[in-house]
A and B are shown apart, each in its own frame.
Chain A
């Protein structure tokens, strides 16, 4: 392979590092109205009356909107394939506010100062209601969504947003027969994405009278559809463009401020923009779903797993975006790891609370589920007196195998059957074990002294897109100089998808990568793509690109044969030249002729791809931590990760994805504490108080790859975007147990919590 498996530089890297205007706020028209949102100070309230007259009459204010100005159309903000597996429980603006930070009114003014002033002039008469702040009591509390006209909610009265269950075999019977049964409960927190660029969007009416929305979003096509629904305007009159984005991690897989800027632009006819403050990103975008997960494992005397039972209670906050799907992924992307059991049961509920809504976040339930399952596996290993690695080796899924869960559990619906065609998990475990020095470290006697070291491990799997649902497409067009424009709907969040898709096209066409010019994520100019989530870009969009490139090759041969007046079989295109029986033409000359002189035709190919399966990437993780037993502080020392993502299209970029995800997982495990006060206000709502890992907080991280070949993937590739985040909570918890014999089960493992657990163990 010439262009695939090459660590070429990102095509946009140079420009971005040079500071070229590329992000949403850089591109917004200078005369944009500044849009600010009045947000609820209460966790739960009804807006009895809202008086915007003073705000409206303030000089410089162009527009003030309340719930009375929007058609009452329920929708989901979730950026998912239609029909979305999330309830339609949100209105653009509503007479109920359901969390501190929920939108109450929209102000558009000539500058930020005026807009801020206007916000203060809006008078709202709230009927303050009692908020539901503990998800373990949501079902016994009065409804947060008592209103009519919403749909897709499992049980409005009981605050149950979604529910799901499935079972295979007879779990109770199997567990009875097991020699060893372990139970474990974990709690995970509402982790914040903290992407470096806050949410941003601007809109304007173009000279055709169409609404153009430029937004920092992972899902431009879903945004277009949602805007059409919510604002009640035809989809064809909306164009959504994604410029460069400063990170997303799932936090931009939904509609956020776009509705409001669009509404303002439609009302005033003027360009308008909204840039979220960091506080708004924390309080009023999304978080990860906090979950309580109970796992029961049953095995025989040797440690062969016979039964797994997983039960989840998930907190979706005020609205149900991504609720059902994250619940299901917690199971579907973990349970198949141990596919040879006789019985599996999975059930869960997602409940509403008056917290900041939870939504999509890298890992998407898999990391929460992994924490529960991989901790429980270690408990079992300990009970059996088995090396944790051995226990995984006895039970983990292997190439050529399958699991009934693949067919039963998709995302929000049934899934798709899949036999694992590429899985080097065994090798990942072996290699990781060796590089890390696991056997020697694990068998070391626990030390005395105040600083103790421990080692732990975990394995994980994820997916490559959503089978039968996620569709990506690509258009290739030949230019008269022999270069190609590659138009893809796929969304580059900084991950480098533009680059790797160009690499795939280049490989297929056999032309240098620099001859493929990617342009992405513009609903007018690029073909459909569900967007950047579910680890879909490399696998789904990549396959579409490969197909489009193959079609283009054929078109070139076809037109070459016309030009040379021979049959297609006699023509060869080798990337540089079109070679006939008697002639050969360099591609650029061929293209020039084709544009200007003979049989003039624009060569353009298009292709789409939907996966029949979502082949999982796999990984093993080995970590060493140091625990200060006097303060409870856990310091990561070393993290070795070995990943099978098929063939890495760009090894550097694949590596950076995993490294970045690991650090986010370490943050989730150790540092990222979320605190609400008793009235439901998010207290950790700034980067000053919510600490993501700095470069000194993570120890050494080594990422290695074991290549497998996924036959259904482009050049053997699977996706790699999410899997890196899955293992740190479990691996670190397991390492702590190895060090000091306490089982941490409540994220994050702050020094204070660890110290408490240590003292409990010592009998205090």
Chain B
């Protein structure tokens, strides 16, 4: 567990943001379910639970998830029972454990861009905007490439549409981080492919979607292309070589669902 000197619960996100930017050694506290692994000393812990960021709403074709909604809130919400044919619900329901999902926040999950995050891999291929208090709206595509922002993530906005989406994940046991996660979304001739837990976090492919858009349906070609353009590394769970292989397998399975 980290050491925190002071703790505060601001009543508004404005207040939270002011505290955050004026204290260089301050830390935003979502659920704290990953932060607790840190051993550093934090001067000011800013708990957002009273800043009214716990909501999931659906309007005008957009689903808005407040940053302090837990993964369980997403899993149990009526909105996600149906949205995207229940895929978001399914993916979230497989994350780590029920206890963790009851505390881990969407904001914390997205903001921290942790390598193993399955949720991020799925979000990466949907039409998602990440909304920051000060910086404003950033598309998930851009967000994934940016350096860390010293700003408070307020909500994510998912546009509902007819994307055909497939999510594939490989874990060694049911209760484990993924060895690899992969998502493919398709709208007519437009494809998006994200690979996560590489062990690095979700990365959107560039070349392979183009190949598919151009009509290439040869499995070996597109798989080889994906494996070539996505960087993999070794970690405790798997070697990069194995990840490359699994990537090909998961990609094949995803394509069979969207094509």
CB–CB under 8 A between A and B in the complex? yes
Q: How many angstroms from the CA of A631 to the CA of B242 in the assembled complex? A: 9
B173/A631 in contact, CB under 8 A: no
A684 and B239 contact, Cβ closer than 8 Å, known pairs A694-B174, A750-B172: no
Q: Is A696 an interface residue (CB 8 A)?
A: yes
Q: How many angstroms from the CA of A162 to the CA of B174 in the assembled complex? A: 40
A691/B236 in contact, CB under 8 A: no
Chain B residues near A751 (CB, 8 Å)? Answer: 170, 172, 179, 242
Q: How many angstroms from the CA of A551 to the CA of B239 in the assembled complex? A: 64
CB proximity of B145 to chain A, nearest CB, Å = 28
Q: How many angstroms from the CA of A631 to the CA of B239 in the assembled complex? A: 13
Contact with A along B213-248 (1 / 0, CB 8 A): 000000000000000000000001011001001100
Chain B residues near A691 (CB, 8 Å)? Answer: 172-173, 175-176
A689 and B236 contact, Cβ closer than 8 Å, known pairs A696-B174, A750-B172, A755-B242: yes
Choose from A631, A675, A688, A697 the contact partner of B246 (Cβ within 8 Å): A631
CB proximity of B104 to chain A, nearest CB, Å = 14
Chain B residues in the interface with A (C-beta under 8 A): 170, 172-177, 179, 236, 238-239, 242, 245-246, 249
Chain A residues near B236 (CB, 8 Å)? Answer: 675, 683-684, 689
Residue of B nearest to A672 (CB): B173
30 contacts between A and B (CB under 8 A): A630-B249, A631-B170, A631-B246, A631-B249, A633-B170, A633-B172, A671-B172, A671-B173, A675-B236, A683-B236, A684-B236, A688-B177, A689-B236, A691-B172, A691-B173, A691-B176, A694-B173, A696-B173, A696-B174, A696-B175, A697-B175, A750-B172, A751-B170, A751-B172, A751-B242, A752-B238, A752-B239, A752-B242, A755-B242, A755-B245
| A-B CB proximity, top 8 nearest | A696-B174, A694-B175, A752-B242, A630-B249, A697-B173, A691-B173, A689-B236, A694-B174
Q: Is A693 an interface residue (CB 8 A)?
A: yes
Chain B residues near A688 (CB, 8 Å)? Answer: 177
Chain A residues near B238 (CB, 8 Å)? Answer: 752
Contact with B along A736-764 (1 / 0, CB 8 A): 00000000000000111001000000000
Chain A residues near B246 (CB, 8 Å)? Answer: 631
Q: How many angstroms from the CA of A677 to the CA of B198 in the assembled complex? A: 20
Interface of A, secondary structure class, is loop
Contact with B along A527-565 (1 / 0, CB 8 A): 000000000000000000000000000000000000000
Q: How many angstroms from the CA of A74 to the CA of B230 in the assembled complex? A: 56
Chain B residues near A750 (CB, 8 Å)? Answer: 172
Q: How many angstroms from the CA of A630 to the CA of B236 in the assembled complex? A: 21
Chain B residues near A630 (CB, 8 Å)? Answer: 249
Residue of B nearest to A751 (CB): B172
B175, B238, B239 pick with most chain A CB within 10 angstroms: B175
Chain B residues near A683 (CB, 8 Å)? Answer: 236
Chain B residues near A752 (CB, 8 Å)? Answer: 238-239, 242
Beyond A696-B173, A697-B174, list 14 extra A-B contacts (CB 8 Å).
Answer: A630-B249, A631-B170, A671-B173, A675-B236, A683-B236, A688-B177, A693-B173, A694-B173, A697-B173, A750-B172, A751-B170, A751-B242, A752-B239, A755-B245
Interface of B, secondary structure class, is loop
Give the interface size bracket for A toward B: 10 to 19
Query: Could you tell me which residues of chain A, from 620 to 642, have a CB within 8 Å of some CB in chain B?
Result: 630-631, 633
Chain A residues near B179 (CB, 8 Å)? Answer: 751
Chain B residues near A694 (CB, 8 Å)? Answer: 173-175
Contact with B along A626-666 (1 / 0, CB 8 A): 00001101000000000000000000000000000000000
Q: How many angstroms from the CA of A633 to the CA of B173 in the assembled complex? A: 9
Q: How many angstroms from the CA of A176 to the CA of B81 in the assembled complex? A: 69
Q: How many angstroms from the CA of A689 to the CA of B238 in the assembled complex? A: 12
Residue of A nearest to B177 (CB): A688
Q: How many angstroms from the CA of A353 to the CA of B200 in the assembled complex? A: 34
Chain A residues near B174 (CB, 8 Å)? Answer: 694, 696-697
Q: How many angstroms from the CA of A688 to the CA of B170 in the assembled complex? A: 17
Q: How many angstroms from the CA of A691 to the CA of B96 in the assembled complex? A: 12
Chain A residues near B177 (CB, 8 Å)? Answer: 688
Residue of B nearest to A671 (CB): B173
Q: How many angstroms from the CA of A697 to the CA of B176 in the assembled complex? A: 11
A750, A751, A755 pick with most chain B CB within 10 angstroms: A751
Chain A residues near B249 (CB, 8 Å)? Answer: 630-631
Chain B residues near A671 (CB, 8 Å)? Answer: 172-173
Residue of A nearest to B174 (CB): A696
CB proximity of B139 to chain A, nearest CB, Å = 32
Residue of B nearest to A630 (CB): B249
Chain A residues near B170 (CB, 8 Å)? Answer: 631, 633, 751
Chain A residues near B245 (CB, 8 Å)? Answer: 755
Query: Could you tell me which residues of chain A, from 686 to 743, have a CB within 8 Å of some CB in chain B?
Result: 688-689, 691, 693-694, 696-697
Q: How many angstroms from the CA of A755 to the CA of B172 in the assembled complex? A: 13
Chain B residues near A633 (CB, 8 Å)? Answer: 170, 172
Chain B residues near A693 (CB, 8 Å)? Answer: 173
Chain B residues near A696 (CB, 8 Å)? Answer: 173-175
Q: How many angstroms from the CA of A648 to the CA of B176 in the assembled complex? A: 37
CB proximity of A508 to chain B, nearest CB, Å = 45
CB proximity of B72 to chain A, nearest CB, Å = 18
CB proximity of A667 to chain B, nearest CB, Å = 9
CB proximity of A611 to chain B, nearest CB, Å = 40
Residue of A nearest to B253 (CB): A630
Residue of B nearest to A694 (CB): B175
Q: How many angstroms from the CA of A752 to the CA of B236 in the assembled complex? A: 12
Q: How many angstroms from the CA of A752 to the CA of B240 in the assembled complex? A: 11
Q: How many angstroms from the CA of A109 to the CA of B238 in the assembled complex? A: 41
Residue of A nearest to B3 (CB): A113
CB proximity of B26 to chain A, nearest CB, Å = 22
CB proximity of A748 to chain B, nearest CB, Å = 10
Residue of B nearest to A689 (CB): B236
Chain A residues near B239 (CB, 8 Å)? Answer: 752
A671, A684, A691, A696 pick with most chain B CB within 10 angstroms: A691
Q: How many angstroms from the CA of A684 to the CA of B249 in the assembled complex? A: 27
CB proximity of B257 to chain A, nearest CB, Å = 15
Q: How many angstroms from the CA of A478 to the CA of B242 in the assembled complex? A: 66
Q: How many angstroms from the CA of A750 to the CA of B239 in the assembled complex? A: 12
CB proximity of B178 to chain A, nearest CB, Å = 12
Chain A residues near B173 (CB, 8 Å)? Answer: 671, 691, 693-694, 696-697
